[in-house]
Amino acid sequence: MTETIRLCPIDQPVEGEPVEVSAPGLPPLVVYEVEGAFFVTDNMCTHGHARLSDGYHNGFVIECPLHGGSFDVRTGAPKTAPCVVALRTYQAIVEDGWVTIARPAQGG
């Protein structure tokens, strides 16, 4: 059975207001809610040292607050320059009223 990591209660992220979360052994993460579904990515922009949880979130796009580049929260794919490196994403799992993720394999 896959071990999961609790990130936040399902009522904490609301559409347009991503939530920064911490999990032991992982980089800072951010949880998004879009149309009733949850998405999880690394919180640091791959272009500059900026927290995406401080950025502008609209639908499936998160815009970095530093240089305005953006990413698709579903896939981590960069959407606009200057971002060219994808964000790491994690499959969100709703479990007992919590947004969780599967514990990544060591080194993964």
What predicted TM-score, i.e. pTM, was given to this entire model? 0.94
Mean pLDDT of the residues in the chain: 94
CA–CA separation, 40 and 44 (whole Å): 12
Going from N- to C-terminal start, the domains of the chain cover 4-102
Task: Express each pLDDT in 10-39 by its tens digit.
Answer: 999 999 999 999 998 899 999 999 999 999
Each residue of 77-105: pLDDT tens digit? 999 999 999 999 999 999 999 999 998 87
pLDDT band at 2 (very low <50, low <70, confident <90, very high): confident
pLDDT, tens digit (0-9, with 9 covering 90-100), for 47-84: 988 999 999 999 999 999 999 999 999 999 999 999 99
CATH class given for the domain over 4-102: mainly beta
